[in-house]
Amino acid sequence: MLMHGDWGPPGLLAEWLDARGIPYDLHRTYVGEPMPDVAGYGFVASLGSNRNPNDTDDPAVAAELVLLREAIEHDVPVLGLCFGGQALAAALGAAVETAPQPELGWMTIETDDPERIPAGPWLEWHFDRFAVPPGATEVARTGAAPQAFRHGRHLGVQFHPESTVEIVARWATSDAERLAALGLDGDALLAATEDERAAARVAAFALFDGFLETASEPAASAAAVREA
């Protein structure tokens, strides 16, 4: 699992892995250690980041793009979440650009596969967006951006199925000036009932289960996942 800062933990993804009995490794890309070899891993998960895949002057971003291209070349499934989805798209040859409008807080999406990519509710927190890569299929969208694509056994999403309100609240605090300039209130964007939080967790588990099902075909079971 590729983690890009202490403020962006795996959250619900880690809960799902534990619930399914799937062991995993957590690689902190920001501490400067070399990226591991993808060989032998069941799949690779890339989490959110405050960087952009176009920031290739950042050694960690450049190294991650190399790792993702190696995963694609060797058919190691990739699950990309927000920045991770953008990085997967870039590794597949798609553009990543500034979104015409940021998507912040709780949203629902239009989906062509509601069982594996539920409509939500999802937490979003991004100012950039990916284009759907060549050869990929767009699976979900909003009016502002593609929200999910599949490319073989790879899945990239623009939202944060792994994140909880508590995690995203830290991002809202960091982005307080940007929110103020947009006339937005972080607390209002993240307000949710217990039922809504529970629904988001159910949706996240459904998405992760759907990814694992696709990722396991035709490869052997991903029960021995070791994530980069």
Distance (Å, rounded) from C-alpha 95 to C-alpha 86? 8
Distance (Å, rounded) from C-alpha 197 to C-alpha 152? 31
Torsion of the alpha carbons at 150, 151, 152 and 157, rounded to the nearest 10: -40
> Could you confirm whether 82 is annotated as catalytic?
yes
> Could you confirm whether 124 is annotated as catalytic?
no
Active-site residue (options: 4, 64, 82, 227): 82
Active-site residue (options: 64, 103, 162, 227): 162
As annotated, the active-site residues are 82, 160, 162
